[in-house]
Structure 1
Amino acid sequence: MTTTTPTAVPTPSGTSATSAAPFTGLGTLLRFYLRLDRVRITVWTLALALTVWSTVLSLAAVYPDEASRQARAALLENPAAVLMTGPAYGIDNYTLGAMTANELSLTVFVATAIMSILLVVRHTRAQEESGRLELLRALPVGAYAPPAAALLLVSVANLVVGTGITVALIAGGLDVVGSIAFGVASAVTGVLFGAVAAVTAQFGEHSRSATGTALAVLAAAFFVRGAGDIIEATGSWLSWLSPIAWAQQTRLYVDERWWPLLLSVATTVVLLTVAVALSRRRDLGAGLRAPKPGPAEADSALLSPVGLIRRLLRGAFVGWLTGLVLFGVAMGALASSVEDLIDEMPQVLDMVGVDPDALTASFAGMMLMFLALGATAFGVSAVVRMRSEEDGGRSGLVIITGTGRSAWLSAALGVIVVQMVVALLVSGAATGLGVAFAVGDWAWVLRMIAASLAYAPAGILVVAVAFALLGCVPRATGLVWVLVVWTVFVAWLGEMLDLPDELVALSPFSHIPLVPAENATAMPLIIQAVAAVLLVAAAIVGFRRRDVQV
């Protein structure tokens, strides 16, 4: 009896896939990943840099003198404002730099963290789940080269984004040292949460669970930091348990100190060490947490397209809904503080175009509009999820078992639209609840629920655009995020930057009055509804005619 041993795969360099050193091919992989994500990194950099730059200019225009800035600083005494901003440094002498750091840094830090989480999972667990990493490992590529390349990619991405943020702040007229510290803090925080994603990628077999767990850690860090800052205005012991607080404790533009960032660096090193140790304890493609065996028989609801799609989107829907509720209550609770601000600084009314006779309603309407944008973003993400289901061949498998193409796409449309409208209504209720707490009038709850329905046609129209791309040009489905980002930009800064009407009109939400401060008119809603129906019809026709991956 004879035995054979596996023969190493020969390579042009004379090495073999089985004998490759741990980091063989790292440089090649890094260049490849950079090429794959060059557009993503560019979009993140431009989006954050332009947001920072335009926000600084807007704050400078709205709060041009010390008196107006001090009136603004008084808002930070509200617990809801502290939760959504951060520790209040420099409020005794509230400069433009201190205002920017206190009120914008949290948004930027969270954005870089989300970018890093998505990039790390995309190049680690998602590659394993799809089987591409196994093919890659068959080449002369070291075992640690792919994850190392992913982490280096995230480091480069954060370096680019941090540089863009620094340049944008300096271009806005802020101090150079503080701007550099802002950029460095953003980059370091992003890399840290990239390391968090590297750890969460070791546990489950699916990229969605890795992303969801990492985002849950980010959310926990957000609320721990918020609770700590509510206890003490400049941060309590509880704040120091959050990595986000470490970045904010640099005291940007007030009294810069760099040592809190060393905590972020040290934690990143520890997390990466843990990720490497965990990766050694599992097989390629598997997770440390074995999946639970499913029931012997599937739920009868899963036998229908509607039930299956609802199950696929359940986790994302609950996550988005939770975030919208928390944001709605927190922002609504600021209503009473806004009235105090306007009493001290009436010129703000002219800058933002708010009706002084309906101040609370105008403020609540602004918050509701942003929540409606959040509900719309959920709808778009759900459509993009359906695209990923098709890429994985799962939609095709459902179709070839007897489900019609039109039935499958219509089921997806129905579930997503219903969930988005539910998110709208719940967002309105949450905002109304926050306002009711602030002003003591519980009629606001029903009023805001009714007002939220005015945004339904605009949200459905954006989702219909996503469906049209999915049905007709599936590779371009992700481009719908450009429309979402533009809509958010117009809602946030369109009025202050005095954008041309033609550009503002590209946002479906620009055609909706600021309800409940203003009355909604029927014609724009009807036009948007008709446009959405036409786009959905085009999506169904396109989906029936094109190939579906199996």
Structure 2
Amino acid sequence: MTSLTGTRALTRLALRLDRVRLTIWVLGLAVMPMGTAANYQKLYPTDADLQAVKGVLTNPSLVALSGPLFDVSIGGLTAWKIGITEFILIGLMSLLTVVRHTRTEEETGRLELLRATVIGRHAPLTAALLTAALADVAIAVLIALGLMATGLPVAGSIAFGVATGLVGLLFAAIAAAAAQLTQSARAANSIAGAILGGTYLLRAAGDTGPTWLSWLSPTGWALHLRPYGGERWWVALLFVGFAAVFAAAGYALADRRDVGAGLIAERPGPAAGAPSLRSPLALAWRLHRGLLIGWTVGLALSGAVLGGAANSINSLESPNQQLTDVLTRMGGKAGLTDAFLAAIFGIVGMVAAAYTVQATLRLRQEESSGRVEPILATRVGRLQWAASHLAFALFGTALLLAVAGLAGGVVYGAEVHDVGGQAGRVFGAAMVQLPAAWVLAGFGMALIGLFPRLSTLTWAALILSVLLVELGALFGLNQYVLDIVPFAHVPKLPGAAFSVTPLLWLTAVAVALGAAGLFGLRRRDMPVA
């Protein structure tokens, strides 16, 4: 028996388990570039129309948000608009896939049962990497074929597909290494996810400042492969080299630890619980604090970087109808800077909602792992236990948005020499996103209480929200379709007229969904595997 014995069987098992999940990811990521290109062909039918937006899209503020525009063409505009979104999403898909079939399998004990059969030591990790790689390659091929089908140049279409697939392969390898470090799948996802978020900030800083910073970021490499803008095929070697390094590190680290253990050992707890852990809320704080602190630091940095990029939007010399169209799709009409701030803090709101979902689903994780049973065997009731975790999902999100809004407002205010006047406006633009994020918490709670096995669909709801908000108007979707997304009802602050009514409705929906979930949790059997 070799270390790879059983790889084929485990790969087939992983593909079977993920057949629905990966099919949705692959089709969604493959269709978006093709749909974007087709719609841009309708919006900008002539070269004159394209040239009219050239000055807009090379503005430093928009470059920080979406990257540089390398060619004024339908292909170049498509790569500019959808590129960063594709790279972030395929990186997320790949890292989640690898961690799910490695660390999650170990954490639940299923991998230990499998390894009692004829399974080589490296087979599970190899199968996870192959599963992610097959999905990445499928996405790359379908993207290239779809873009060519819209009439775009062959070389640029292949380059865009290759860039997207290589980002996925690299983050699959990064996740393979991260999965060896900790005993928790949640922690492994957090490490790989933090690296993914950091690459976006490095790319934004490098594209608007010191260029070398962009070359430290894989998302920056993908852009600088330059689809439709004079392709630089040699950039692909950076992905191949670093993916090989991280994958090799994953295998090497796997050889240095026991099954179920991580290289970063968890500290043993005291023999007796501290007085500070005598309540469900105190225990929830112990479980959530690392995640909350990490997200707080990340959102503070994101708010500061994006807020600092807002001032240069005023340097546009000749606003025109194309500019209005672009900024309207990004989130507002009341002035260039206000529209940009509304757009970026709409994005920040959806990023913060990822924490909301993660914190809410901790309830399901505690249940499926069996850790909730000893707690409920005491005087702690189900509702009290659930409320302790929901408190961090709800108020933790409020903290994240507050920190991001303050950081962005202070940095932007300092640039325009009006900290007192601008900090409050930008803070408000961040905080109006809160009820929309709470709707996702309510939706997650409803699934946990009523349909616990479907609770992971909360992530699907967040991804659908991102896609519809960012691309719904571009694709010309009916407003009734867009209205299913809670973030579509958020006032476009600063600049737009503020109305408290949609925020109250969003809060009411969140409360109703949460109450339904708590009602179901109280009446159903626990735990549900």
- TM-score normalised over the length of structure 1: 0.86
Count of matched residue positions in the alignment of Structure 1 and Structure 2: 525
Residues 131-159 of structure 1: CA distance to partner in whole angstroms, max 9, x if unpaired?
A: 11110011122222221111111110111
Aligned to 2:187: 209
Q: Does 2:264 match 1:286?
A: no
Give a deviation string over 1:348-388, Cα, whole Å, max 9, x none: 32565487654433332233222222222321221122211
- Alignment correspondent of 1:397: 374
The farther-off stretch of 336-345 and 416-425 is 336-345
* Residue deviations 1:20-41 (CA, integer Å, cap 9, x gap): 3332222211111001111221
Q: Which residue type is aligned with residue 101 of structure 1?
A: A
Corresponding letter in the other structure for 1:360: T
Q: Which amino acid aligns with 2:233?
A: W
Matched residues in 2 for 1:241 and 1:361: separation? 31
Which of 6, 26, 30 does residue 45 from structure 1 map onto?
A: 26
Q: Does 1:312 align with 2:293?
A: no
**Contact 2:167/2:222, CA 8 A, preserved across alignment:** yes
Residue among 321, 325, 333 paired with 1:346: 321
Select 1:181's aligned residue among 135, 159, 170.
Answer: 159
Describe the shift of the 1:220–1:498 C-alpha distance in structure 2 as closer, same or farther (beyond 3 A).
closer
Superposed CA deviations along residues 166-216 of structure 1, whole A, max 9, x for unmatched, are 234334442222111111122122112211221222222222232222233
- The runs of 5 or more residues in structure 2 that have no matched partner are none
Q: Separation in 2 of the partners of 1:59 and 1:100?
A: 7
How far 1:255 moved relative to its partner?
1.6
Distance in 2, matches of 1:384 and 1:299, equals 26
Query: Residue 247 of structure 1 is aligned with which of 212, 217, 222?
Result: 222
Partner of 1:456: 434
Amino acid at match of 2:155: V
Change (3 A) 1:185 1:454: closer
Structure 1 counterpart of 2:306: 331
1:361 aligns with 2:322: no
Residues 63 and 408 of structure 1: CA distance in aligned 2, closer, same or farther (over 3 Å): same
Query: In the alignment, which residue of structure 1 is the partner of 2:504?
Result: 526
CA distance in 2, matches of 1:514, 1:157: 36
Task: Indicate if the aligned counterparts of 2:94 and 2:132 stay in contact, CA closer than 8 A.
Answer: yes
Match of 1:152 in 2: 130
- What SS class does the counterpart of residue 318 from structure 2 fall into? helix
- Asked whether the 8 Å contact 1:117–1:197 carries over to 2, the reply is yes
Mean Cα displacement is larger for which, 308-317 or 462-471?
A: 308-317
The structural deviation recorded for 1:451 is 4.2
**Residues 432 and 447 in structure 1, CA contact (< 8 A), matched pair in contact too:** yes
Cα distance between partner residues in 2 of 1:198 and 1:489: 27
Is the partner of 2:473 in helix, strand or coil? helix
2-structure distance, mates of 1:224, 1:525: 34
1:162 maps to amino acid: A
Q: Is the 8 A contact 2:173 2:247 kept in 1?
A: yes
Question: 1:330 and 1:51 mapped to 2: Cα distance?
Answer: 27
Letter of the 2:28 partner, please give it.
Answer: A
Instruction: Read off the aligned partner of 1:428 and give its amino acid letter.
Output: G
Q: Normalising by structure 2, what TM-score?
A: 0.89
Change over 3 Å in CA distance of 1:226–1:496 after alignment to 2? closer
Write the distance in 1 (CA, Å) between the matches of 2:201 and 2:516.
Answer: 43
After superposition, the C-alpha distances for 1:22-72 in whole angstroms (9 at most, x for unaligned) are 322222111110011112212222332333234334545555555664564
Equivalent pair of 1:125/1:206 in contact (CA under 8 Å): yes
Relative distance call for 1:38 and 1:229 in structure 2 (3 A) is same
- The reply on whether 1:218 has 2:196 as its aligned counterpart is yes
In structure 1, give the amino acid aligned to 2:453.
R
- 1:521 to partner: Cα distance: 2.9
1:406-421 to structure 2, matched below 5 A, reads: 406-421=383-398
Equivalent residue, structure 2, for 1:515: 493
1:446 shift after superposition: 0.8
Q: Deviations over 1:454-495 (max 9, x none)?
A: 333333223112111111111111223333233323322333
Closer, same or farther: CA 436–346 of 1 in aligned 2, 3 Å:
farther
The reply to whether residue 23 of structure 1 matches residue 4 of structure 2 is: yes
Deviation of residue 426 (structure 1)? Answer: 2.5
Matched to 1:407, the amino acid is Q
SS in 2 for 1:255: coil
Q: Indicate the residue corresponding to 1:471 in structure 2.
A: 449
Superposed, which structure 2 residues align to 1:264-279 within 5 Å? 264-279=239-254
Q: Match of 1:496, SS? A: coil
Q: Are 1:465 and 1:535, in contact at CA under 8 Å, matched by a contact in 2?
A: yes
% identical equivalent positions: 38
Whichever residue aligns with residue 7 of structure 2, its letter is L
Alpha-carbon distance, 1:75 to partner: 5.4
Q: Which residue of 1 aligns with 2:350?
A: 373
Where does residue 506 of structure 1 map in the other structure?
484
Task: Please tell me whether residue 138 in structure 1 is matched to residue 116 in structure 2.
Answer: yes
Deviates more, 1:52-61 or 1:128-137: 52-61
Compared CA separation, residues 493 and 245, structure 1 to 2 (3 A): closer
Q: What amino acid maps onto 1:419 in structure 2?
A: G
Verify the 8 A CA contact 1:204 1:290 in the aligned structure 2. yes
- Give the counterpart of 1:89 among 57, 61, 70: 70
- Bigger Rg over Cα: 1
Q: Closer, same or farther in 2 for the Cα pair 1:506/1:249, shift >3 Å? A: closer
Preserved contact between residue 45 and residue 161 of structure 1 (Cα < 8 Å): yes
- The one-character-per-residue Cα deviations of 1:383-416 (angstroms, maximum 9, x if unpaired) are 1222112111112221112210111112222221
In 1, distance between residues paired with 2:214 and 2:483? 42
- Evaluate the alpha carbon distance shift between residue 292 and residue 530 of structure 1 in structure 2; reply closer, same or farther with a 3 A threshold: closer
8 Å CA contact 1:227–1:239 kept in 2: the answer is yes
What is the deviation of 1:534?
2.6
Aligned partner of 1:321 among 296, 320, 333: 296
Question: Does structure 1 retain, via aligned residues, the 8 Å contact 2:201–2:305?
Answer: no
How far residue 222 of structure 1 moved from its aligned partner, in angstroms, is: 4.0
Distance 1:141 1:187, change over 3 A: same
